[in-house]
Every structure is written in C-alpha cells, then in structure tokens.
Structure 1
Amino acid sequence: MPILSSSHILSLIEETFSIAWIGFPFDGGDWTGSHSLDYFIGFDAASGPLRPRFFDAVHPDDRADLHFDLHLLTKRTVPPPRTVRLLIAGRSERHVQIEFRRVPGPSFETLNLLLLKDVSQEVHNIQRLTQYDRRLEQAMRTWQIKGLWWADKTYRLVDYVGRDELVFDRDLLGMNYLELVPREERAPLLQEFMTIAHAEAPFSLPVRIVGADGLTRTYQIRGAPYIEEGRFVGWSGYVSAAPLTVMAQSAGRTKSRFIARLSAGLLRAGCAALGWSYGELASRAQLSTSTVNRILTTSGPLTDAFRLSSLVAILEAMESAGVTYATDAQGRLTLSVSCVNEP
C-alpha cells in the first residue's frame, strides 16, 4: 500500500481547511505560494509573478494596510493578524485572515511567511449577529421592553438579555424570580406561579422587583410556555415598564390574580349588569370605542391581544360603578354587583 508523501498530505489539509501560504525571502525576492492559493485568488498562482497579481486581487480599500504590514515584516517586526478582502475575478468577495511569520532556515537568512485562512463564513455570521442585535435592540426600545428572559419549569433563570441595568446588569443566572421581589411579597407571588405552572398557559403579572440599587420598582412580566421538541421545558417572556394604573394598585389589591384569565364574555356580563353600552364603557374607561369593541368581541385570552393598561382601565371603570371581579378560594373567577349611586 503506497504511503502518501508529506507534501501531498499538506495539500489535502490546505484544501480541506481552506488555508494557504505565501513565502518570500528577507531580501524581497520572488513570491511563491502553495497550490491551494489558487482558491483564494482565482487563478493559477504559479503561472506568473505572484506579488503583483496577489495585490491586484486585494480589495483597493485594504491594499495600503497590507503594504504597511509587509513593510513591518521586512523590518523584522511581525504585525498582528489582519483580515482583508480578496476579489475573485473582480467580482465575488472572500474574507481572508492573514497571519505574518518570520521563519529562519538553513539555506536563507529569514523567510517571510503569510498564512492565509478563509474566514468568509465567520465574517458573515458576525455581520448577521450584529444585524440581529441591532434589530433586537430597536424592537426592545420600540416596545419599551426592559429585558427578555428564559426560565426552567421552576422559574429559575437560565438566560436573559436586558436593557434595564437596575434589573439585568448583574448575575441572575440560576436565580428564581421569587429572589428578585421583596420578601413579604414572595408568598402570594409563589401562589400565582403555581397556578400558572399548573395551567401551562401564557401569563401577565405586575411584579415589584428589587433593583441593583436596592430600590423596589414595579414592572410587568409576560411569559409563555417554552416548548422544545414538543415537550414543555420551561418559560420565556419579557419584562416591561408597568402601566401607571397597575403601579398605583401594586401597593394594595392587585388584579394579577385573575386578569390573565379574564375573558370578553365576563366583561360583557359586567356591561349588561350595569346596563352600559360599549360606547358608555369606552367613555368611562377613557378608551376609544373601537378598542373597547375589539376587547369585548375577542375570543381567547385578552392579555395575549391587548395592553394590560386598557384592560385595567375597563375594570376600574366597572368597579367605580359597582361591578367587581375577583377570585375565590378555589381560584374561580367571580363577578359581583353592588349598588352605587350614580351622580
């Protein structure tokens, strides 16, 4: 069985890993290159003088920097690696990382060596990630999102991305949400989470979080089951600034116990109990009639389709007139009506 020569093995490695080399002596003599260099410059590297043809392939904006690096190399200073763009046939572009070496040898004083590696895919991935980060930042700014979070089934954080340094600019990995809220509020919040976990349904809760500065602020946390390969493995969601109406209630009775299960049918029942039209409800809640019409005619969870502040405004308008929504000891949603004298 024939044994492959070392040069043949080297050629296979160069072609497999998209690498090549260029060498020239210290006195600035002719350039020579590996056979795999053809892949980088788009022509046979051995068919003519290599140096001018190689620089013709280098993007015009990168030539001056590369010339400077080679000048340093001939002056016995090894420059740091540099990424340049090579134009193949003057059109397609390839990103190539060049490492500079000075190699002493027995038959020459020093050989200047350029090691080339194709990093086009890496550069493309970085550009895509940068573009993704910009879009994510714009989306979070537009929707006033303070942070994105991922948690396991027990609401223990496994990852997060945040814009609010008071909440997210610290090591939160492995922490449970209950560790972020004031101690006296952990028991009722745990009850909420247990109910949500049992239902495995989307949720929206006003929650007070202790910031890195030690102060407590009210935020709105929205989440939904995180499914992986068809299996429920945890939760994902975001944290946003809480609506003013929710912040005003956070110190007293909060509607978080039932608002995630609120339905259009229950709101219509409240309107019927008060004898209100949709227009009158909109006026009392200080919302547009079209918004109220959409809320009261929507099927499915309202918190998935509408702002929490709009739902709270409707509930407060009804409460002021004598209709109250609450949950009983069994977690059932109830509606009660009391007599309120109209002005």
Structure 2
Amino acid sequence: MQTATPSLPLSRDSIKQAHAVVAPLVHRTPLLTSETLSSETGNNALLFKAENLNKSGSFKIRGASYSISRLSDEEVARGVCTHSSGNHAAALSLAAKNRGIPCHIVSPRTAPPAKLAAVRAYGANLRLCEPTIEAREAALRQVQEETGAVFVPPYDAVNTMLGQGTIFLEAEEQALEGGWGRLGAIVAPVGGGGMLGGISVAAAGTGVRVFGAEPECANDCARGLAKGERVTDFTPNTIADGLRTPVGLNNFPVIQKNVEKVFTVSEEEIIEAQRLLWERLKTVVEPSGAVPFAVVRSEAFQALKIDGPICVVMSGGNSDLSKAFG
C-alpha cells in the first residue's frame, strides 16, 4: 500500500533531511574501538558502529521512525502494520508506541523468542504465521482488511533506505570528531538491503568505499551481483536470522550501482566473529551484526589494502541469550 506523502528522492541530501527527523527519535550510537581487534586485522583502525545499542536493539528503529514520520494524518489514524522475523517488528512497534498509534505485526512462529517478546513488550498486536513468505503476506493482507492499517515495509522501500542511510552520516561525522579522519571504507550486512542501499547512497561522492557482508548460506545478493540480476531462487539456512531475507526489488539496483562488492562468510566465521565481539568489545551482538566483522577478518577483504579507518556496522544485539554463539 502506497503512502499519501511521496518519498523524497533517493540521495545524500534526502538522507540528511531524514537524519534531521530521526535524530531526536533514535540514539546516536557510539563508535567502539579495540586496539587488539584492529591489530589482528591489519593496519586499519576498526570503528564499530554500535547499532546493537540503538533503541529496540537494532538499526531498524531508524527506518521505522522515518517511515512513520512520512505518513499522512489520515494514515496515522489508521495505524501501521508489517511482517518481520524480528528486528523490524520490534522497531516498528516501538516507533508506533512513541507516536501513539496502533501497530500490527505478523511474524513467523519460528522467529527468535527474544524478538517476539520485544514486540509484545512494546504493545503491538502480534499475529504468528507459518515461516514462509506466502504465509506472511497472506496474514498481512488479512490484518489490513480487518484494521485498515498502513503497511510499513521492513526493507524494500525508499523511505526505509533513507532512514537507514543515516547510519553513515553519523559514522562519518564521529570518525572526524574522534580524530580518526575520513573513513576509508564501511562494511554493512545485507539481507533485504535497506541498510546497505541507504548507506551506499549516503556515501556516494565521499570517496568512502562501501562493502556488503553476507552469509554464504544466504548469499543471494552476492550471487545476484555476479549474475547481473536479482536472485530469488534460494533457501537461506544461516544462524544470522536477520539476513535470511532476499534482497529487495527496489534495493538491489541501488546496491548494484553503489556498492563495490558483497563478501560472504561461513557459519563458523560468523560465530567466531560474534564471540570475539562479545569478549573484546564487551557488547552483545547478534549473529547478523557480527557478519561484517567476519568479512573484515577474512583474507579476501584484507587483500584490498584499504586506506584509512574501516567502519564495521554491528546492526543488532537481539540475541537469544540461552543460545549464545549459536
């Protein structure tokens, strides 16, 4: 369902406008550092953008808050809805609560319990379905028929990309403020591609190299870039549950245009990267949020010889602590 208010153009200037909107609604998450982790991966300073410390526990609060801000008064009155396996569901639930409007969430019954608990805690109406995209879409249609709620896409929309792209603006500014200078590169995870697409737009023209990070067992974006067209025939099977979503129809061409390369890593590399982040940075990062660090640790990435500090986006921290490290 389209919103009544048109999206701004997909540009760095639009992301600056989005940042002015979301800045009071989200945390300006810190850049964490570790001399040990940096020294183990080469001569670059690693700057970890801690989106796991953002409201609702992930970067998704940015896109959700901005998307709600673009709704018309009539749409706000009807409330919002979405389908999500976790982080977007929690983010939209919180953003809707902050705006004082109803929120309806469709999630697969196999979604991580910690993420479902967050949705309930934020007061959203939760409906569980079978873990297929067909079941999710059917349940969402039913919710819309019953409530009239406006669909806020979890990743595949311009407003989502504009909101998520604010991550880059903050990291760029914080690197200068911290005395590290201009970023050499930024590495972000890619599932649906809203964040990577938004970051790539925000970084356009800055000289900062943009890379994606993806599990080998959910590598549709990397395959699509190699093939020259979006890949949809895949069955993800990765511990990084936030990256099991196929890259979005709107997001893929943006990534194709602006992202230098998407690297993939194994399940073992993801788990080891997550363990190191917990141990060295003393911060809870979910598997999806550890994928960029796993990429930075890889020989293939280190062979690039990046000039300057590298921003590593830790996208979320909504881990099931009863099953830490897988």
TM-score by shorter chain over 0.5: no
TM range (shorter): under 0.3
Q: Which has more radius of gyration?
A: 1
- Output the TM-score relative to the length of structure 1: 0.19
More helix by share: 2
Bigger relative CO (Cα 8 Å, ≥ 6 apart):
2
